[in-house]
Structure 1
Protein backbone atom coordinates (compact mmCIF):
# COMPACT_ATOMS: atom_id res chain seq x y z
CA UNK A 1 0.00 0.00 0.00
CA UNK A 2 1.33 3.41 -1.04
CA UNK A 3 -0.23 5.44 1.77
CA UNK A 4 1.30 8.81 0.75
CA UNK A 5 -0.08 8.46 -2.79
CA UNK A 6 -3.47 7.33 -1.47
CA UNK A 7 -3.78 10.34 0.83
CA UNK A 8 -2.82 12.69 -2.00
CA UNK A 9 -5.55 11.16 -4.16
CA UNK A 10 -8.15 11.48 -1.40
CA UNK A 11 -7.44 15.19 -1.08
CA UNK A 12 -8.05 15.94 -4.75
CA UNK A 13 -11.17 17.75 -5.95
CA UNK A 14 -11.98 17.98 -9.65
CA UNK A 15 -14.46 19.84 -11.83
CA UNK A 16 -16.20 17.56 -14.34
CA UNK A 17 -18.59 20.18 -15.70
CA UNK A 18 -17.09 19.67 -19.13
CA UNK A 19 -18.24 16.05 -19.20
CA UNK A 20 -21.35 15.06 -21.17
CA UNK A 21 -24.53 14.13 -19.30
CA UNK A 22 -25.66 10.69 -20.50
CA UNK A 23 -28.67 10.01 -18.28
CA UNK A 24 -29.93 10.18 -14.73
CA UNK A 25 -29.61 7.08 -12.52
CA UNK A 26 -33.02 6.10 -11.04
CA UNK A 27 -31.74 3.66 -8.40
CA UNK A 28 -31.12 4.87 -4.85
CA UNK A 29 -32.21 7.82 -2.74
CA UNK A 30 -29.58 10.34 -3.87
CA UNK A 31 -29.33 12.46 -7.00
CA UNK A 32 -27.17 10.52 -9.46
CA UNK A 33 -26.14 11.05 -13.08
CA UNK A 34 -24.05 9.10 -15.56
CA UNK A 35 -21.57 11.38 -17.29
CA UNK A 36 -18.92 10.76 -19.95
CA UNK A 37 -15.46 12.19 -20.51
CA UNK A 38 -15.69 13.54 -24.10
CA UNK A 39 -11.98 12.90 -24.65
CA UNK A 40 -11.56 9.35 -23.38
CA UNK A 41 -15.15 8.15 -23.58
CA UNK A 42 -14.88 6.82 -20.02
CA UNK A 43 -18.12 6.89 -18.05
CA UNK A 44 -18.55 8.01 -14.46
CA UNK A 45 -21.34 8.09 -11.91
CA UNK A 46 -21.73 11.53 -10.34
CA UNK A 47 -23.55 11.51 -6.98
CA UNK A 48 -24.72 14.46 -4.92
CA UNK A 49 -24.83 13.95 -1.16
CA UNK A 50 -28.02 15.03 0.58
CA UNK A 51 -27.89 18.50 2.19
CA UNK A 52 -26.99 18.55 5.87
CA UNK A 53 -25.20 15.20 5.71
CA UNK A 54 -21.60 14.07 5.27
CA UNK A 55 -22.44 11.63 2.49
CA UNK A 56 -19.83 13.04 0.11
CA UNK A 57 -16.89 12.85 2.52
CA UNK A 58 -18.09 9.52 3.97
CA UNK A 59 -18.01 7.99 0.48
CA UNK A 60 -14.48 9.20 -0.22
CA UNK A 61 -13.12 8.34 3.22
CA UNK A 62 -14.65 4.84 3.11
CA UNK A 63 -13.02 4.34 -0.29
CA UNK A 64 -9.65 5.37 1.12
CA UNK A 65 -9.93 2.94 4.03
CA UNK A 66 -10.99 0.12 1.71
CA UNK A 67 -7.96 0.79 -0.51
CA UNK A 68 -5.67 0.86 2.51
CA UNK A 69 -7.00 -2.54 3.59
CA UNK A 70 -6.83 -4.06 0.11
CA UNK A 71 -10.62 -4.45 -0.15
CA UNK A 72 -11.69 -4.28 -3.84
CA UNK A 73 -13.80 -1.15 -4.12
CA UNK A 74 -15.39 1.28 -6.53
CA UNK A 75 -13.33 4.46 -6.62
CA UNK A 76 -14.65 7.80 -5.39
CA UNK A 77 -13.28 11.33 -5.67
CA UNK A 78 -14.64 14.73 -4.70
CA UNK A 79 -16.01 16.53 -7.74
CA UNK A 80 -18.28 19.31 -8.94
CA UNK A 81 -20.58 19.11 -11.95
CA UNK A 82 -22.41 22.17 -13.25
CA UNK A 83 -22.18 23.91 -9.89
CA UNK A 84 -23.20 20.93 -7.76
CA UNK A 85 -20.83 19.38 -5.22
CA UNK A 86 -20.62 15.61 -5.01
CA UNK A 87 -18.42 12.63 -5.75
CA UNK A 88 -17.52 10.97 -9.01
CA UNK A 89 -16.91 7.26 -9.51
CA UNK A 90 -15.61 5.58 -12.69
CA UNK A 91 -17.71 2.71 -14.00
CA UNK A 92 -16.22 -0.45 -12.46
CA UNK A 93 -17.24 -2.91 -15.18
CA UNK A 94 -16.67 -2.89 -18.92
CA UNK A 95 -19.07 -2.01 -21.71
CA UNK A 96 -19.35 -5.70 -22.59
CA UNK A 97 -19.89 -6.75 -18.96
CA UNK A 98 -23.11 -6.65 -16.94
CA UNK A 99 -23.88 -5.99 -13.27
CA UNK A 100 -26.52 -8.01 -11.41
CA UNK A 101 -27.48 -6.70 -7.98
CA UNK A 102 -28.02 -8.78 -4.87
CA UNK A 103 -31.82 -8.61 -4.96
CA UNK A 104 -31.88 -10.46 -8.30
CA UNK A 105 -29.31 -12.97 -7.13
CA UNK A 106 -31.22 -13.71 -3.92
CA UNK A 107 -34.27 -14.63 -6.03
CA UNK A 108 -32.30 -17.52 -7.48
CA UNK A 109 -31.73 -19.11 -4.06
CA UNK A 110 -34.94 -18.05 -2.35
CA UNK A 111 -37.66 -20.72 -2.21
CA UNK A 112 -40.36 -18.09 -1.71
CA UNK A 113 -41.82 -16.61 -4.88
CA UNK A 114 -42.27 -12.91 -5.47
CA UNK A 115 -40.09 -9.87 -4.95
CA UNK A 116 -37.15 -10.14 -2.58
CA UNK A 117 -37.24 -7.91 0.49
CA UNK A 118 -34.40 -6.98 2.80
CA UNK A 119 -35.53 -9.67 5.25
CA UNK A 120 -34.71 -12.29 2.59
CA UNK A 121 -31.08 -11.19 2.79
CA UNK A 122 -30.03 -13.80 5.32
CA UNK A 123 -26.65 -15.30 6.14
CA UNK A 124 -27.74 -18.55 4.49
CA UNK A 125 -29.02 -16.95 1.28
CA UNK A 126 -26.00 -14.66 0.83
CA UNK A 127 -23.57 -17.53 1.31
CA UNK A 128 -25.55 -19.65 -1.17
CA UNK A 129 -25.25 -16.90 -3.80
CA UNK A 130 -21.54 -16.44 -3.15
CA UNK A 131 -20.66 -20.14 -3.23
CA UNK A 132 -23.11 -21.52 -5.80
CA UNK A 133 -23.54 -18.67 -8.27
CA UNK A 134 -20.76 -16.08 -8.14
CA UNK A 135 -17.84 -18.17 -6.85
CA UNK A 136 -15.04 -15.99 -8.27
CA UNK A 137 -13.26 -13.02 -6.74
CA UNK A 138 -13.73 -9.49 -8.13
CA UNK A 139 -12.17 -8.91 -11.57
CA UNK A 140 -8.57 -7.69 -11.38
CA UNK A 141 -8.46 -8.16 -7.60
CA UNK A 142 -5.26 -9.84 -6.39
CA UNK A 143 -5.50 -13.02 -4.39
CA UNK A 144 -4.25 -12.89 -0.82
CA UNK A 145 -3.25 -15.79 1.42
CA UNK A 146 -6.54 -17.53 2.33
CA UNK A 147 -8.54 -14.94 0.37
CA UNK A 148 -9.28 -16.06 -3.18
CA UNK A 149 -13.03 -16.71 -3.63
CA UNK A 150 -16.18 -14.58 -3.72
CA UNK A 151 -17.11 -15.63 -0.19
CA UNK A 152 -13.64 -14.90 1.16
CA UNK A 153 -13.63 -11.40 -0.36
CA UNK A 154 -17.18 -10.70 0.82
CA UNK A 155 -15.99 -11.39 4.35
CA UNK A 156 -13.61 -8.48 3.82
CA UNK A 157 -16.54 -6.30 2.74
CA UNK A 158 -18.29 -7.11 6.01
CA UNK A 159 -15.18 -6.26 8.01
CA UNK A 160 -15.08 -2.90 6.23
CA UNK A 161 -18.78 -2.37 7.03
CA UNK A 162 -18.07 -2.91 10.72
CA UNK A 163 -14.98 -0.71 10.69
CA UNK A 164 -16.82 2.27 9.18
CA UNK A 165 -20.23 1.54 10.80
CA UNK A 166 -21.84 1.15 7.37
CA UNK A 167 -25.52 0.40 7.93
CA UNK A 168 -26.57 0.28 4.27
CA UNK A 169 -25.40 -3.11 2.93
CA UNK A 170 -28.90 -3.86 1.65
CA UNK A 171 -29.78 -6.21 -1.21
CA UNK A 172 -28.98 -3.63 -3.91
CA UNK A 173 -25.61 -2.61 -2.45
CA UNK A 174 -23.63 -5.64 -3.55
CA UNK A 175 -23.65 -7.68 -6.70
CA UNK A 176 -22.08 -9.80 -9.41
CA UNK A 177 -20.31 -8.93 -12.64
CA UNK A 178 -20.83 -11.16 -15.68
CA UNK A 179 -17.77 -10.53 -17.84
CA UNK A 180 -17.28 -10.66 -21.58
CA UNK A 181 -15.46 -13.99 -21.21
CA UNK A 182 -18.69 -15.41 -19.69
CA UNK A 183 -17.48 -15.78 -16.10
CA UNK A 184 -19.15 -14.61 -12.91
CA UNK A 185 -17.30 -12.42 -10.40
CA UNK A 186 -18.13 -10.66 -7.16
CA UNK A 187 -18.50 -6.93 -7.84
CA UNK A 188 -16.20 -4.56 -5.93
CA UNK A 189 -17.80 -3.11 -2.82
CA UNK A 190 -19.64 0.15 -3.49
CA UNK A 191 -21.94 2.80 -1.98
CA UNK A 192 -20.64 3.49 1.54
CA UNK A 193 -22.09 6.97 2.11
CA UNK A 194 -24.27 5.82 5.04
CA UNK A 195 -21.30 5.38 7.33
CA UNK A 196 -18.90 7.12 9.70
CA UNK A 197 -21.64 9.07 11.48
CA UNK A 198 -22.48 10.86 8.22
CA UNK A 199 -25.91 12.06 9.39
CA UNK A 200 -25.11 13.27 12.91
CA UNK A 201 -25.08 17.00 13.50
CA UNK A 202 -21.93 18.81 14.62
CA UNK A 203 -23.54 19.35 18.03
CA UNK A 204 -24.41 15.67 18.47
CA UNK A 205 -20.89 14.61 17.52
CA UNK A 206 -19.31 17.07 19.92
CA UNK A 207 -21.59 15.91 22.74
CA UNK A 208 -20.67 12.28 22.14
CA UNK A 209 -16.98 13.13 21.93
CA UNK A 210 -16.98 15.12 25.17
CA UNK A 211 -19.47 13.24 27.31
CA UNK A 212 -18.46 11.29 30.40
CA UNK A 213 -21.59 9.15 30.05
CA UNK A 214 -20.30 5.85 28.66
CA UNK A 215 -23.78 5.00 27.39
CA UNK A 216 -23.73 8.06 25.11
CA UNK A 217 -20.09 8.06 24.05
CA UNK A 218 -18.81 7.16 20.59
CA UNK A 219 -17.89 3.68 21.81
CA UNK A 220 -21.54 3.04 22.68
CA UNK A 221 -22.74 4.58 19.40
CA UNK A 222 -20.70 2.17 17.25
CA UNK A 223 -21.95 -0.86 19.16
CA UNK A 224 -25.47 -0.13 17.90
CA UNK A 225 -24.60 -0.15 14.19
CA UNK A 226 -26.82 -2.63 12.35
CA UNK A 227 -26.37 -4.46 9.08
CA UNK A 228 -29.16 -5.33 6.65
CA UNK A 229 -28.17 -8.98 6.95
CA UNK A 230 -30.56 -11.19 8.90
CA UNK A 231 -30.23 -14.46 10.77
CA UNK A 232 -33.03 -16.41 12.47
CA UNK A 233 -35.42 -13.50 11.92
CA UNK A 234 -33.07 -10.97 13.52
CA UNK A 235 -31.33 -8.02 11.90
CA UNK A 236 -27.68 -8.48 12.78
CA UNK A 237 -25.31 -5.83 14.00
CA UNK A 238 -22.42 -5.13 11.63
CA UNK A 239 -19.95 -7.01 13.81
CA UNK A 240 -22.37 -9.95 14.13
CA UNK A 241 -22.71 -10.20 10.35
CA UNK A 242 -18.92 -10.29 10.02
CA UNK A 243 -18.63 -12.92 12.76
CA UNK A 244 -21.39 -15.19 11.45
CA UNK A 245 -20.30 -15.23 7.82
CA UNK A 246 -16.63 -15.12 8.77
CA UNK A 247 -17.09 -18.22 10.93
CA UNK A 248 -17.90 -20.15 7.73
CA UNK A 249 -14.33 -19.52 6.53
CA UNK A 250 -12.24 -18.85 9.60
CA UNK A 251 -8.96 -18.68 7.68
CA UNK A 252 -10.30 -15.86 5.47
CA UNK A 253 -11.73 -14.03 8.47
CA UNK A 254 -8.39 -14.15 10.26
CA UNK A 255 -6.57 -13.08 7.08
CA UNK A 256 -8.71 -9.93 6.89
CA UNK A 257 -8.21 -9.22 10.57
CA UNK A 258 -4.47 -9.47 10.03
CA UNK A 259 -4.74 -6.84 7.30
CA UNK A 260 -6.64 -4.64 9.73
CA UNK A 261 -3.96 -5.22 12.38
CA UNK A 262 -1.36 -4.03 9.88
CA UNK A 263 -3.33 -0.81 9.29
CA UNK A 264 -2.11 1.05 12.35
CA UNK A 265 -3.90 3.72 14.35
CA UNK A 266 -1.46 6.22 12.88
CA UNK A 267 -2.36 5.08 9.36
CA UNK A 268 -6.06 5.54 10.08
CA UNK A 269 -5.49 9.06 11.43
CA UNK A 270 -3.44 9.87 8.33
CA UNK A 271 -6.21 8.72 5.99
CA UNK A 272 -8.86 10.71 7.87
CA UNK A 273 -6.68 13.83 7.98
CA UNK A 274 -6.19 13.67 4.20
CA UNK A 275 -9.81 14.68 3.59
CA UNK A 276 -9.84 18.43 2.80
CA UNK A 277 -11.13 20.77 5.50
CA UNK A 278 -13.49 22.20 2.86
CA UNK A 279 -15.27 18.84 2.91
CA UNK A 280 -14.96 17.66 6.51
CA UNK A 281 -14.87 19.71 9.71
CA UNK A 282 -12.44 19.03 12.54
CA UNK A 283 -15.35 17.73 14.60
CA UNK A 284 -16.24 15.36 11.76
CA UNK A 285 -12.63 14.16 11.68
CA UNK A 286 -12.40 13.71 15.44
CA UNK A 287 -15.63 11.74 15.50
CA UNK A 288 -14.74 9.57 12.48
CA UNK A 289 -11.30 8.81 13.90
CA UNK A 290 -12.68 7.76 17.27
CA UNK A 291 -15.38 5.68 15.58
CA UNK A 292 -12.79 3.91 13.43
CA UNK A 293 -10.38 3.24 16.28
CA UNK A 294 -13.20 1.93 18.46
CA UNK A 295 -14.40 -0.43 15.72
CA UNK A 296 -10.83 -1.49 14.93
CA UNK A 297 -10.38 -2.47 18.59
CA UNK A 298 -13.64 -4.44 18.62
CA UNK A 299 -12.74 -6.27 15.43
CA UNK A 300 -9.22 -7.12 16.55
CA UNK A 301 -10.77 -8.66 19.64
CA UNK A 302 -11.91 -11.43 17.27
CA UNK A 303 -8.39 -12.43 16.31
CA UNK A 304 -7.37 -15.87 17.48
CA UNK A 305 -5.27 -15.77 20.63
CA UNK A 306 -2.24 -17.25 18.89
CA UNK A 307 -2.40 -14.66 16.11
CA UNK A 308 -2.68 -11.50 18.22
CA UNK A 309 0.39 -9.33 18.49
Structure 2
Protein backbone atom coordinates (compact mmCIF):
# COMPACT_ATOMS: atom_id res chain seq x y z
CA UNK A 1 0.00 0.00 0.00
CA UNK A 2 1.32 3.43 -0.96
CA UNK A 3 1.86 6.11 1.67
CA UNK A 4 -1.03 8.58 1.83
CA UNK A 5 0.13 12.20 2.09
CA UNK A 6 -3.28 13.85 1.80
CA UNK A 7 -2.73 15.75 5.04
CA UNK A 8 0.51 17.39 3.96
CA UNK A 9 0.34 21.16 3.53
CA UNK A 10 0.37 22.53 0.01
CA UNK A 11 2.53 25.63 -0.39
CA UNK A 12 2.55 26.02 -4.19
CA UNK A 13 1.79 24.52 -7.57
CA UNK A 14 5.27 23.79 -8.93
CA UNK A 15 5.39 26.51 -11.58
CA UNK A 16 5.06 26.08 -15.33
CA UNK A 17 5.26 22.42 -16.32
CA UNK A 18 3.82 19.77 -18.64
CA UNK A 19 2.85 17.78 -15.54
CA UNK A 20 0.48 18.79 -12.78
CA UNK A 21 2.53 19.43 -9.64
CA UNK A 22 2.07 20.53 -6.06
CA UNK A 23 4.71 21.85 -3.69
CA UNK A 24 4.25 20.32 -0.25
CA UNK A 25 5.65 20.44 3.25
CA UNK A 26 5.84 17.24 5.29
CA UNK A 27 4.79 17.10 8.97
CA UNK A 28 8.54 17.29 9.76
CA UNK A 29 8.79 20.59 7.87
CA UNK A 30 10.68 19.21 4.83
CA UNK A 31 9.86 20.42 1.32
CA UNK A 32 8.72 18.08 -1.45
CA UNK A 33 7.13 18.14 -4.89
CA UNK A 34 4.45 15.70 -6.04
CA UNK A 35 4.00 15.07 -9.77
CA UNK A 36 0.88 13.48 -11.24
CA UNK A 37 0.85 11.63 -14.58
CA UNK A 38 -0.67 13.50 -17.49
CA UNK A 39 -4.17 12.78 -18.76
CA UNK A 40 -4.60 12.40 -22.52
CA UNK A 41 -7.69 12.14 -24.70
CA UNK A 42 -5.95 9.27 -26.43
CA UNK A 43 -3.20 7.02 -25.12
CA UNK A 44 -1.87 6.56 -21.63
CA UNK A 45 0.83 7.95 -19.39
CA UNK A 46 2.54 6.17 -16.53
CA UNK A 47 5.37 8.68 -16.21
CA UNK A 48 5.09 8.88 -12.44
CA UNK A 49 6.18 5.22 -12.37
CA UNK A 50 8.86 5.74 -15.04
CA UNK A 51 10.19 8.63 -12.92
CA UNK A 52 10.68 6.16 -10.07
CA UNK A 53 12.27 3.51 -12.31
CA UNK A 54 14.58 6.02 -14.01
CA UNK A 55 15.81 7.17 -10.58
CA UNK A 56 16.66 3.57 -9.68
CA UNK A 57 18.48 3.06 -12.99
CA UNK A 58 20.50 6.19 -12.30
CA UNK A 59 21.41 4.95 -8.83
CA UNK A 60 22.57 1.61 -10.24
CA UNK A 61 24.76 3.54 -12.69
CA UNK A 62 26.27 5.41 -9.74
CA UNK A 63 24.70 8.78 -10.56
CA UNK A 64 23.31 11.23 -8.01
CA UNK A 65 19.55 11.16 -8.46
CA UNK A 66 16.65 13.10 -6.99
CA UNK A 67 14.89 10.98 -4.35
CA UNK A 68 11.61 9.56 -5.65
CA UNK A 69 8.78 7.72 -3.86
CA UNK A 70 5.34 6.61 -5.05
CA UNK A 71 2.50 8.00 -2.90
CA UNK A 72 -1.19 8.88 -2.98
CA UNK A 73 -2.76 12.25 -2.26
CA UNK A 74 -6.50 12.80 -2.13
CA UNK A 75 -7.08 9.53 -3.93
CA UNK A 76 -4.58 10.21 -6.74
CA UNK A 77 -1.30 8.42 -7.33
CA UNK A 78 1.84 10.43 -7.96
CA UNK A 79 5.58 10.46 -7.45
CA UNK A 80 6.95 12.36 -4.48
CA UNK A 81 10.25 14.18 -4.98
CA UNK A 82 12.49 15.51 -2.23
CA UNK A 83 13.55 19.15 -2.65
CA UNK A 84 17.30 18.69 -3.23
CA UNK A 85 18.07 22.42 -2.94
CA UNK A 86 16.90 22.37 0.67
CA UNK A 87 18.44 18.95 1.29
CA UNK A 88 21.85 20.09 -0.05
CA UNK A 89 21.64 23.33 1.91
CA UNK A 90 22.47 25.15 -1.30
CA UNK A 91 22.75 28.91 -1.23
CA UNK A 92 21.23 29.10 -4.69
CA UNK A 93 20.15 26.89 -7.58
CA UNK A 94 19.89 27.92 -11.20
CA UNK A 95 18.38 25.89 -14.04
CA UNK A 96 20.45 25.42 -17.17
CA UNK A 97 18.01 27.44 -19.22
CA UNK A 98 18.27 30.30 -16.74
CA UNK A 99 22.07 30.20 -16.72
CA UNK A 100 22.75 29.96 -20.43
CA UNK A 101 21.03 33.25 -21.29
CA UNK A 102 24.07 34.91 -19.71
CA UNK A 103 25.20 34.23 -23.28
CA UNK A 104 21.94 35.71 -24.54
CA UNK A 105 22.71 36.11 -28.22
CA UNK A 106 24.44 32.73 -28.58
CA UNK A 107 21.69 30.96 -26.66
CA UNK A 108 18.84 32.48 -28.68
CA UNK A 109 20.71 31.81 -31.91
CA UNK A 110 21.12 28.18 -30.87
CA UNK A 111 17.41 27.71 -30.19
CA UNK A 112 16.53 29.28 -33.55
CA UNK A 113 19.31 27.58 -35.52
CA UNK A 114 18.40 25.83 -38.80
CA UNK A 115 21.27 23.38 -38.28
CA UNK A 116 20.55 19.68 -37.81
CA UNK A 117 22.18 16.55 -36.41
CA UNK A 118 25.96 16.72 -35.78
CA UNK A 119 26.19 20.39 -36.84
CA UNK A 120 23.45 21.35 -34.38
CA UNK A 121 25.08 19.33 -31.60
CA UNK A 122 28.40 21.06 -32.29
CA UNK A 123 26.75 24.48 -32.13
CA UNK A 124 25.15 23.52 -28.81
CA UNK A 125 28.39 22.44 -27.20
CA UNK A 126 30.17 25.53 -28.46
CA UNK A 127 27.66 27.54 -26.44
CA UNK A 128 28.14 25.26 -23.41
CA UNK A 129 31.91 25.73 -23.52
CA UNK A 130 31.38 29.48 -23.02
CA UNK A 131 29.25 28.75 -19.94
CA UNK A 132 30.95 30.12 -16.78
CA UNK A 133 30.54 26.87 -14.85
CA UNK A 134 31.30 24.46 -17.69
CA UNK A 135 34.45 22.98 -16.14
CA UNK A 136 32.60 22.42 -12.85
CA UNK A 137 29.71 20.51 -14.42
CA UNK A 138 31.18 18.99 -17.61
CA UNK A 139 31.62 15.45 -16.28
CA UNK A 140 28.10 15.22 -14.86
CA UNK A 141 26.66 16.86 -17.97
CA UNK A 142 28.16 14.07 -20.09
CA UNK A 143 26.80 11.48 -17.65
CA UNK A 144 23.23 12.67 -18.22
CA UNK A 145 23.67 12.36 -21.98
CA UNK A 146 24.50 8.65 -21.71
CA UNK A 147 21.82 8.19 -19.04
CA UNK A 148 19.13 9.88 -21.16
CA UNK A 149 19.97 7.78 -24.21
CA UNK A 150 19.93 4.66 -22.03
CA UNK A 151 16.40 5.34 -20.72
CA UNK A 152 15.12 7.04 -23.89
CA UNK A 153 14.43 10.34 -22.13
CA UNK A 154 12.68 12.72 -24.52
CA UNK A 155 12.62 15.84 -22.36
CA UNK A 156 16.08 16.91 -21.13
CA UNK A 157 15.70 20.51 -22.27
CA UNK A 158 17.78 23.32 -20.72
CA UNK A 159 15.28 23.83 -17.88
CA UNK A 160 15.58 20.18 -16.78
CA UNK A 161 19.02 20.39 -15.19
CA UNK A 162 20.43 22.68 -12.53
CA UNK A 163 23.63 23.99 -11.04
CA UNK A 164 23.72 24.29 -7.25
CA UNK A 165 25.87 26.83 -5.47
CA UNK A 166 27.15 25.49 -2.13
CA UNK A 167 28.96 27.37 0.61
CA UNK A 168 32.03 25.10 0.66
CA UNK A 169 31.98 23.26 -2.68
CA UNK A 170 31.02 26.15 -4.92
CA UNK A 171 29.25 25.28 -8.19
CA UNK A 172 27.97 21.72 -8.35
CA UNK A 173 25.72 19.81 -10.74
CA UNK A 174 22.39 19.01 -9.12
CA UNK A 175 20.94 15.54 -8.60
CA UNK A 176 19.31 14.35 -11.83
CA UNK A 177 15.55 14.98 -12.00
CA UNK A 178 12.58 15.09 -14.41
CA UNK A 179 13.21 11.70 -15.99
CA UNK A 180 9.61 10.50 -16.40
CA UNK A 181 9.29 11.10 -20.17
CA UNK A 182 11.23 7.92 -20.82
CA UNK A 183 11.03 4.11 -20.90
CA UNK A 184 8.03 4.06 -23.24
CA UNK A 185 5.86 6.12 -20.88
CA UNK A 186 3.20 6.75 -23.55
CA UNK A 187 2.82 3.13 -24.72
CA UNK A 188 -0.24 1.17 -23.60
CA UNK A 189 -0.08 -2.49 -22.64
CA UNK A 190 -0.79 -3.77 -26.15
CA UNK A 191 1.98 -1.64 -27.66
CA UNK A 192 4.41 -2.59 -24.91
CA UNK A 193 3.88 -6.32 -25.31
CA UNK A 194 4.09 -6.13 -29.08
CA UNK A 195 7.41 -4.28 -28.94
CA UNK A 196 8.82 -6.39 -26.11
CA UNK A 197 8.50 -9.65 -28.04
CA UNK A 198 9.52 -8.25 -31.45
CA UNK A 199 13.26 -7.76 -31.89
CA UNK A 200 12.80 -5.65 -35.01
CA UNK A 201 10.46 -3.28 -33.16
CA UNK A 202 12.94 -3.00 -30.29
CA UNK A 203 15.78 -2.20 -32.69
CA UNK A 204 13.62 0.35 -34.52
CA UNK A 205 12.66 2.00 -31.24
CA UNK A 206 16.33 2.28 -30.26
CA UNK A 207 17.45 3.48 -33.71
CA UNK A 208 14.82 6.24 -33.72
CA UNK A 209 15.74 7.59 -30.28
CA UNK A 210 16.11 11.36 -30.21
CA UNK A 211 17.12 13.54 -27.28
CA UNK A 212 17.25 17.24 -26.44
CA UNK A 213 20.74 16.84 -24.95
CA UNK A 214 20.14 19.41 -22.21
CA UNK A 215 20.71 22.04 -24.89
CA UNK A 216 17.56 22.48 -26.93
CA UNK A 217 14.06 23.55 -25.99
CA UNK A 218 12.11 22.58 -29.13
CA UNK A 219 14.67 20.62 -31.13
CA UNK A 220 15.93 17.07 -30.80
CA UNK A 221 18.97 15.26 -32.19
CA UNK A 222 19.66 11.63 -32.95
CA UNK A 223 20.99 9.76 -29.93
CA UNK A 224 23.69 8.01 -31.95
CA UNK A 225 24.91 11.33 -33.40
CA UNK A 226 25.22 12.71 -29.89
CA UNK A 227 27.24 9.71 -28.74
CA UNK A 228 29.56 9.99 -31.74
CA UNK A 229 30.11 13.68 -31.04
CA UNK A 230 30.85 13.26 -27.33
CA UNK A 231 33.20 10.35 -27.99
CA UNK A 232 35.16 12.39 -30.51
CA UNK A 233 35.31 15.72 -28.65
CA UNK A 234 35.19 14.67 -24.97
CA UNK A 235 36.90 11.26 -24.94
CA UNK A 236 37.80 11.24 -21.23
CA UNK A 237 34.31 12.15 -20.07
CA UNK A 238 32.82 9.73 -22.58
CA UNK A 239 34.94 6.85 -21.31
CA UNK A 240 34.01 7.64 -17.70
CA UNK A 241 30.30 7.70 -18.55
CA UNK A 242 30.46 4.56 -20.65
CA UNK A 243 32.34 2.70 -17.92
CA UNK A 244 29.30 3.23 -15.71
CA UNK A 245 27.12 1.63 -18.37
CA UNK A 246 29.52 -1.30 -18.77
CA UNK A 247 29.34 -1.94 -15.01
CA UNK A 248 25.55 -1.57 -14.87
CA UNK A 249 24.11 -4.33 -12.64
CA UNK A 250 21.34 -5.73 -14.83
CA UNK A 251 20.40 -8.37 -12.26
CA UNK A 252 19.80 -5.71 -9.60
CA UNK A 253 17.66 -3.79 -12.08
CA UNK A 254 15.56 -6.85 -12.99
CA UNK A 255 14.95 -7.62 -9.31
CA UNK A 256 13.78 -4.04 -8.79
CA UNK A 257 11.32 -4.28 -11.69
CA UNK A 258 9.99 -7.60 -10.39
CA UNK A 259 9.44 -6.02 -6.96
CA UNK A 260 7.11 -3.27 -8.23
CA UNK A 261 3.46 -4.16 -7.59
CA UNK A 262 2.28 -1.07 -9.49
CA UNK A 263 3.27 -2.47 -12.89
CA UNK A 264 1.00 -4.31 -15.29
CA UNK A 265 2.32 -7.57 -16.70
CA UNK A 266 3.00 -5.90 -20.06
CA UNK A 267 4.93 -3.07 -18.39
CA UNK A 268 6.97 -5.59 -16.41
CA UNK A 269 7.84 -7.64 -19.49
CA UNK A 270 8.69 -4.51 -21.49
CA UNK A 271 10.94 -3.03 -18.81
CA UNK A 272 12.81 -6.30 -18.32
CA UNK A 273 13.57 -6.34 -22.05
CA UNK A 274 14.16 -2.73 -23.03
CA UNK A 275 16.95 -1.73 -20.64
CA UNK A 276 19.27 -4.72 -21.31
CA UNK A 277 18.70 -4.26 -25.05
CA UNK A 278 19.41 -0.51 -24.97
CA UNK A 279 22.57 -1.14 -22.96
CA UNK A 280 23.71 -3.73 -25.50
CA UNK A 281 23.01 -1.42 -28.44
CA UNK A 282 24.87 1.55 -26.93
CA UNK A 283 27.89 -0.64 -26.24
CA UNK A 284 27.74 -1.96 -29.81
CA UNK A 285 27.65 1.62 -31.11
CA UNK A 286 30.62 2.47 -28.95
CA UNK A 287 32.68 -0.35 -30.39
CA UNK A 288 31.99 0.84 -33.94
CA UNK A 289 32.57 4.50 -33.18
CA UNK A 290 35.73 3.75 -31.25
CA UNK A 291 37.23 2.17 -34.38
CA UNK A 292 36.15 5.18 -36.43
CA UNK A 293 37.67 7.79 -34.15
CA UNK A 294 40.83 6.26 -32.75
Matches within 5 A, 1:1-309: 13-39=2-28, 41-51=29-39, 52-94=44-86, 97-112=91-106, 117=111, 122-126=121-125, 128-129=127-128, 132-135=131-134, 149-180=136-167, 183-211=170-198, 214=200, 217-229=201-213, 235-274=220-259, 276-277=260-261, 279-301=262-284, 302=286
1:45 Cα deviation from its structure 2 partner: 0.5
SS, match of residue 11 in structure 2: strand
1:288 Cα deviation from its structure 2 partner: 2.0
Change (3 A) 1:150 1:242: farther
SS, match of residue 93 in structure 1: helix
1:199 Cα deviation from its structure 2 partner: 0.3
The answer (yes or no) to whether the contact 2:110–2:123 under 8 Å persists in 1 is no
Q: Give deviations 1:250-293, integer Å, cap 9, x for gaps.
A: 1221122222111243233223223x22x211211211222211
Distance 2:104 2:123 in 1: 10
Alignment TM-score, normalising by the size of structure 2: 0.82
Alignment TM-score, normalising by the size of structure 1: 0.79
The answer (yes or no) to whether the contact 2:48–2:78 under 8 Å persists in 1 is yes
How many residue pairs get matched?
276
Q: Unpaired segments of 5 or more residues in structure 1?
A: 1-11, 137-148
Q: Unpaired segments of 5 or more residues in structure 2?
A: 115-119
Change (3 A) 1:176 1:108: same
Give 1 or 2: higher helix fraction.
Answer: 2
1:135 Cα deviation from its structure 2 partner: 3.9
In angstroms, what is the RMSD of aligned CA positions?
3.0
1:118 Cα deviation from its structure 2 partner: 7.7
The answer (yes or no) to whether the contact 1:118–1:170 under 8 Å persists in 2 is no
